[in-house]
Each structure stands twice: as structure tokens, then as C-alpha cells.
Amino acid sequence: MQVQDRVIPATSTVPGMPLDVEVPAVASVRASRRRRIVLRIGIGLGAGAILLLTFLQLVNFRSVSRRLEHLNFLFAGLCAVVFLSAFAVRGLRWRRFLGPERVSRMRAVAVYYVATFLNWALPIQGGELAKSLMLRRSNGIPVNESLAAVGMDKAMDLLPGVVLLAVVPFAGWHLSQALWFLLSLASLALVTGLSVLVLASWRRDRTLAGVSRILAIVLPRRIWVKVEPFIAGFIDSLLGLVRRPRLLLLAAGYTAVAAGLDALFCFLAFRAVGASVSVPVVLFGYTFYNLAYILPTPPGHIGSNEVVGLLIFSGVFGVSRTAVGAMFLFSHPLTGILMTIAGLVCLRGIGLNMRGALALELDAGSMGET
């Protein structure tokens, strides 16, 4: 006797979607999603291995090892404190966009740490959506509202890239095509978002219709039917945030503090391996480096941190490859351990376990699958 897969009739009321469409059972959908995620992890690990081998070919590993043998543990400890502080500041900035009265400081920072850990550990990059799903579960905040806060928060992270783009013509730096592409991509993303908001504030209905048409073309139907109901609320929430200049100035202040902590972390990491690098180099160099996270990265950023670090600090600013290699071989495992510990501790603090967090990440990541 052959057993057929159980199907569940769709009851969606999304316009244009037939009511009698049959979809696979939930278990089959989840199994298929897991297979896609495993495949992406495998591809990511393969790409990371290639990047790591490339990095090892570009540095003198014996010289790097000698620097690591004389690691300064005081500077290493300070690195850990500064690294975690930078993400805490970003979590507090995100809370401002959410509304301080809606989410406590501790919960906002905890959710931010968890999302950062999930983005770091998996190549799904669903941590931003996972933030919204966690807040809906714990605080009852609608997804479109919290996603608007997430969008504004990420836009603030792109602001230093726009500053870099303005500084580059006067600084005399020789940037590779890859770095020009990275700067242009960050600026394009920010300008596109601002343009949509300006148009929406002027002609809301037409802008919503235009955005809907574009997304219907570029997104698969299974993704589009999930996204479409949230568009109006999402854009209205964004407009509500950008119409508050005091809030934007406060968020810009948080961004400046976070960028300063990033630069301090980079400075201390170089000092930990016995290298002295000037403040302007670590400030601009690490800002370049952070922009690289716009692009897809392997799980745990294996290999990508090291290669991008060499490309920026050695290729643009002329820092010794040995010093750069030692700094990233020290700081990369350190930050991975810190993110893992912080993520797991905060998971427990907000009432989730690792299995529940991964389920949220898979649900969030599936919305970005093509």
C-alpha cells in the first residue's frame, strides 16, 4: 500500500491566489527548507575554505605566528570589552527607533546580540527578520513596525560609508575596483531608500503601487504573497520615523559612538599583536571593513574577514601584511567566541533556546530565498 504525502488546502485570502491551491504539508516544507539551508552552508564553507587558503598564500605564516606568540593579553581583554560595547550601543540605537517605552534596554540589547550571533553563524542573513519575529513573540510589536526600525537602524550603519565616499577624493587613497563597488553599493542602497521615502511622503499611494509592482517582478510568488500585506504598514512606519529629526540626530550620535568603538577595537587588536597603527587608519580602515558585511559571507565569516582585512589595511593603507594577518587571526576567533557566548546567554535571558532561535532564523531566512 502506497502512502501519499498529506496536503493541506490553502486558505489564503491574498488577492489573485486561488483558494483551492494545494501546498505541501508543513513537515515537507520544513524538510525542503532545511535541505536548502544545508546546501547553502556547504557552499559557504567551501567558499570560506578557498578564501582562507588564499589568505595563507598572501602572508608569511611563520612571521604571523611569532607575533601571535607574544600576544598582549591586557589589550586582548580590552578588545573583548570594546567589541561587545559597540553592539550594545547599536542595540540601544535600534531601541530608539522602536520606541523606548515599548522595549526595555536589556531586551533590545539581548535581541540584538542574538540576531548578530545568528547572522554570524549561518549564511542565511535572516537575523534582521529574526529580530522582528522575536519582538512579536515577546512584546507583541507588529512585524511591519519593528522591521521599519530595523531598516532605519541598518541605514544608520551605512552613513559612515557615505562619509567615506565624500572623503576619498581628497584623501589620496588608491582604492581597488572592489572597494569602489562596495562604497557605491552602500551609497546606492541609502540613496534608494531615501528616494522611496521622499516619493512616499509626496505621493503615498502611487509610491506604494510602484514598489508593489517592482517587488512582484523581482520576488518569487511564494515570497511576494508573504511580503505584500506588510508593505503599506512598513513604509508608513518608516515615514513616521524620518519625520522625527530629533530622533534621527540622536541615532546619528549613537552611530558615531559605535563607529568610534569599532575603531578603538581595531586599534587595540593591532596593539595586542605588537603593531602600532595610526588612529585615522583604523577609523577609516575599519569603516571600510564593516561595509563588506553588505555582501554575503561564509558561515562564521571564515576566510572573508582575513582577505577583506588584507585588501583594505595592506592594499589601501600600506600596513604590513604580517601585522594585518596576525591581527585578524587573533581577533577573528576572539569575536566568534564572544558572539557565541553573548548570543547563547541572551537567548536564555529572553526565554528561548537554540532550537527555537534556529527555527526563527530559518523562517526569517526563507523569506529571502530565491
Please check the confidence at residue 162 and state whether its pLDDT lies above 60: yes
What band does 363 get if pLDDT is binned at 50, 70 and 90?
low
The pLDDT of residue 261 is: 95
What band does 192 get if pLDDT is binned at 50, 70 and 90?
confident
Higher-scoring residue by pLDDT: 63, 36: 63
The grid cell for 47 is 567558499
The pLDDT of residue 246 is: 92
* DSSP structure class, residue 4: P
What band does 170 get if pLDDT is binned at 50, 70 and 90?
confident
Please check the confidence at residue 20 and state whether its pLDDT lies above 80: no
C-alpha dist (Å) from residue 355 to 109, 152, 359, 362: 20, 29, 6, 11
Are the CB atoms for 71 and 272 separated by under 8 Å?
yes
Contacts of 13 (CB under 8 A, 6+ apart): none
Cβ neighbourhood burial of 129 (10 Å; 0-12, 13-18, 19+): buried
Least confident range from 4-13, 79-88, 323-332: namely 4-13
The grid cell for 143 is 512585524
* Half-sphere exposure of residue 164: CA atoms within 13 angstroms, side-chain side: 28
Please check the confidence at residue 30 and state whether its pLDDT lies above 70: no
Task: Report the sign of the C-alpha dihedral through residues 135, 141, 143, 148, in that order.
Answer: negative
The pLDDT of residue 223 is: 61
Compute φ and ψ for 227, nearest 5 degrees.
-85, -40
Rounded CA-CA distance 317/187 in Å is 22
Number of H helices, E strands in the chain: 15, 2
Least confident range from 130-134, 135-139, 184-188, 221-225: namely 221-225
Higher-scoring residue by pLDDT: 329, 164: 329
pTM here is 0.79
Question: pLDDT, tens digit, for every residue of 102-154?
Answer: 888 999 999 999 888 888 877 656 677 788 888 888 788 887 778 888 888 88
Question: pLDDT, tens digit, for every residue of 291-307?
Answer: 877 777 788 888 888 98
What band does 7 get if pLDDT is binned at 50, 70 and 90?
very low
The pLDDT of residue 313 is: 92
Rounded CA-CA distance 309/293 in Å is 12
